[in-house]
Chain A
């Protein structure tokens, strides 16, 4: 552990180029700063995990990326086209546009886009901490609704669909095929015609992921996908997420408390505490990072000054440190983070 701490802080080598770059993002709710000058990258083809103690601002970051919140400041740039340079992103930023589509992908400034547009155009899909399925609709309907925009075009905004043209029927069959593919992947084909609200909890979690995947996303954001799952279901989830990463052009960003999931499947882990990043790297790097250990487990009073210095250095900002017993540092947090969040 000490060896890891002594080694120079570095971003562990990651395989792929950035897909989403979150730069200096701050989110304030009135006087409360939930996320404070946060910067990190989600790399293409990776499973990136966002971890941190309760109240660290993970879900806020998610809501900012998916457009449910508008960050107070900062930039969230998603570049889904090949070979996008920072100059391209800068050009779009200067132009005042929300996004610039280029072939199959483009540059999307997520902080400027409303939530449904992020899902529809930037192709960022998400799930929710408390499952949000359409409970009164069948499993199959849930997956077909997710393909709304594609089907809407095929139905000629309902006019062709009302007439039942061949083009629309073909598109609907394709949508059902895609739904069946995902049903098969999550093992729920037999329950396609059952209402989603009737499924057991673990199946509902997997169905929500399948529904998000039916939108054909470049980035899939999962908010605590393993919450409430038993060990066997957790293992199934790991398999599913690996399958998504390896078999589809979809990168994954997930929030998770279950470390067995995080450490097993993540390629890249970002640790938040009180709205600021305290560590960022490979799972092994993060696991052995003393700052992370201090944040999660707390430190003895005797070690406090050393640990405090470490955290100060790590954050490079005055984020309040979490001492072993309450607020060890004398100065009040400049970020107004909620106390006792650990």
Chain B
């Protein structure tokens, strides 16, 4: 064994014992961890106060709960100790991977299959769940997820490509929703006229916000965009004459099938096509509408990435000073990123208003911005596939928790899985940070190349941007 090997061996033994050899040490460490957990739990978990029937304060001892927590800590410590060498090996193997690879042709095939599945999804849902049961799957899962996929792809332009951290993206979503609702209700414009107008108005707001804000960088930009999101929401709440305040706007005209309303009338969609009227027609139509909008977003973004403006966005994320030295007007470039991201947010907002028929400031809280940003970050900045997967996991996962009624039979009737949503998100984020700090898809596809094959640049070389 060479000296280097010996040193490596020693280093490995330091960080993680081989099972069997240092089992006693690992057990001792796990015991210590469990003891710390018991110590921490004694004041905050062990004792619970509750009110007895005679209105007196009662002290309950929750020994089993503490025992379970200590046991979990014990097992967790063992897992970490024995898992560490495997994690280190995995990381070393990943570091050795070349920084540019040719993507297998299967990736392109997978994209086509995914789009085909998306198009077929409502029919699959109807076949599996029946016409009545499919509504939930198309509306709560399909449409809801696709709205966030579209928002994620829109924000991806700003955060993923241009590297500008925007914490107030929901503001543009709100501008789109309110402008479309107000235009439709006040002037009686149809959805198809209102949709582009909402996008344009949102883009204008993006530029308006951008002008004063984009000289800021990094944390400062994030804070100001956060403030902008809140300003928009507060204006919506307080400008009662126009927005109807907290009560929101109701009775927003529903989108029609190119002029045919989805109702039971003779001129309606069902009657015209000789179908029996069913409310599901509208849901399926809305599904295809948001699918088309989302695919438009994806197409436009991937197209723009291969144009000078998109390359300038990515160059801006890589190095702003170098951009300026090459004659790129960074302010204009940032503004275009902001405007285009905002425009897609506006489209999504207009769709949201038309789908709900009712909007209120409640729908545009900071939490929404955070969820959209989390989707972009988890997906891998700049990657469309990653963002779509992250949206499915985050939004679909939330919806799926509502379906877990069987857990009550195991854990008692008081158990509500949806209450653990944020905890699960948090756990997922922590695991992602450990496992894939740059998101699900961290590699970057070059926007132009000489050779054959779809290449992908490893995320370790791609910068995240800093403002």
Q: Decide whether A and B assemble into one complex.
A: yes
Q: Which residues of A contact B458 (CB under 8 A)?
A: 195
Q: A116-B329, A155-B307, A162-B304 are in contact. Are A195 and B448 (CB under 8 A)?
A: no
Q: Is the CB of A148 within 8 A of B328?
A: yes
Q: Is the CB of B315 within 8 A of A128?
A: no
Q: Is the CB of A145 within 8 A of B325?
A: no
Which of B99, B308, B315, B448 has a CB less than 8 Å from the CB of A197? B99
Q: Which residues of A contact B457 (CB under 8 A)?
A: 136-138, 195
24 contacts between A and B (CB under 8 A): A68-B325, A116-B327, A116-B330, A119-B326, A119-B327, A128-B322, A128-B325, A134-B315, A135-B318, A135-B461, A136-B462, A137-B318, A137-B457, A138-B100, A140-B448, A148-B312, A152-B309, A155-B309, A161-B309, A176-B450, A193-B100, A193-B451, A195-B458, A198-B461
Which of B322, B446, B451 has a CB less than 8 Å from the CB of A133? B322
Question: Which chain B residues in 395-450 approach chain A with CB under 8 Å?
Answer: 444, 446-450
Query: Cα distance A7–B458 when bound, in Å?
Result: 61
Q: A137-B315, A195-B99 are in contact. Are A145 and B326 (CB under 8 A)?
A: yes
Measured between C-beta atoms, what is the minimum distance from A158 to chain B in Å?
Answer: 5
Name 12 extra pairs, CB < 8 A, besides A132-B321, A162-B303.
Answer: A68-B324, A115-B324, A119-B326, A136-B463, A141-B311, A145-B323, A148-B308, A148-B312, A158-B308, A158-B309, A161-B307, A212-B326
Query: Cα distance A42–B462 when bound, in Å?
Result: 38
Which of B326, B444, B447, B455 has a CB less than 8 Å from the CB of A125? B326
Question: Which chain B residues in 286-314 approach chain A with CB under 8 Å?
Answer: 300, 303-304, 307-309, 311-312, 314
Q: Is the CB of B449 within 8 A of A197?
A: no
Q: Which residues of A contact B322 (CB under 8 A)?
A: 128, 132-134
Query: Cα distance A135–B447 when bound, in Å?
Result: 14
Measured between C-beta atoms, what is the minimum distance from A153 to chain B in Å?
Answer: 9
Looking across the interface, which residue of chain A has its beta carbon closest to that of B449?
A193
- B319 interface hit (Cβ, 8 Å): yes
Q: Which residues of B contact A140 (CB under 8 A)?
A: 446, 448-450
Looking across the interface, which residue of chain A has its beta carbon closest to that of B461?
A197
- A261 interface hit (Cβ, 8 Å): no
Across chains A and B, which 10 residue pairs bring their CB atoms closest together, nearest first? A136-B462, A120-B327, A119-B327, A134-B318, A132-B322, A151-B308, A197-B461, A161-B307, A116-B324, A145-B315
Chain B interface extent, by class:
35 or more
Q: Which residues of B contact A145 (CB under 8 A)?
A: 308, 311-312, 315, 323, 326, 328
Q: Which residues of A contact B329 (CB under 8 A)?
A: 116-117, 120
Q: Is the CB of A215 within 8 A of B315?
A: no
Q: Which residues of B contact A172 (CB under 8 A)?
A: 448
Looking across the interface, which residue of chain B has its beta carbon closest to that of A142?
B315
Query: Cα distance A180–B329 when bound, in Å?
Result: 25
Query: Cα distance A176–B449 when bound, in Å?
Result: 10
Question: Which chain B residues in 26-67 approach chain A with CB under 8 Å?
Answer: none
Query: Cα distance A126–B319 when bound, in Å?
Result: 14
- A146 interface hit (Cβ, 8 Å): yes
Query: Cα distance A133–B99 when bound, in Å?
Result: 16
Question: Which chain B residues in 225-274 approach chain A with CB under 8 Å?
Answer: none
Measured between C-beta atoms, what is the minimum distance from B312 to chain A in Å?
Answer: 5
- A66 interface hit (Cβ, 8 Å): yes
Query: Cα distance A108–B162 when bound, in Å?
Result: 31
Measured between C-beta atoms, what is the minimum distance from B151 to chain A in Å?
Answer: 21
Bitwise interface map of B from 316 to 349 toward A, beta carbon under 8 Å scored 1, else 0: 0011011111111110000010000000000000
Q: Is the CB of A194 within 8 A of B307?
A: no
Q: Is the CB of B449 within 8 A of A195?
A: no
Looking across the interface, which residue of chain A has its beta carbon closest to that of B452?
A193
Q: Is the CB of A144 within 8 A of B325?
A: no
Q: Which residues of B contact A54 (CB under 8 A)?
A: none
Q: Is the CB of B308 within 8 A of A161?
A: yes
- A235 interface hit (Cβ, 8 Å): no
Query: Cα distance A135–B460 when bound, in Å?
Result: 10
Which of B308, B328, B329: most chain A Cβ within 10 A? B308
- A192 interface hit (Cβ, 8 Å): yes
Question: Which chain A residues in 90-127 approach chain B with CB under 8 Å?
Answer: 115-117, 119-121, 125-127
Which of B312, B315, B336, B463: most chain A Cβ within 10 A? B315
Q: Which residues of B contact A192 (CB under 8 A)?
A: 449-451
Bitwise interface map of A from 135 to 175 toward B, beta carbon under 8 Å scored 1, else 0: 11110110011101101100101100110000000001000
Query: Cα distance A141–B328 when bound, in Å?
Result: 15
- A75 interface hit (Cβ, 8 Å): no
Q: Which residues of B contact A274 (CB under 8 A)?
A: none
Q: A134-B314, A144-B448, A197-B461 are in contact. Are A162 and B330 (CB under 8 A)?
A: no
- A211 interface hit (Cβ, 8 Å): yes
Which of A120, A140, A158: most chain B Cβ within 10 A? A158
Query: Cα distance A146–B311 when bound, in Å?
Result: 10
Query: Cα distance A194–B450 when bound, in Å?
Result: 10
Q: Is the CB of B327 within 8 A of A198?
A: no
Q: Which residues of B contact A136 (CB under 8 A)?
A: 314, 318, 444, 457, 461-463
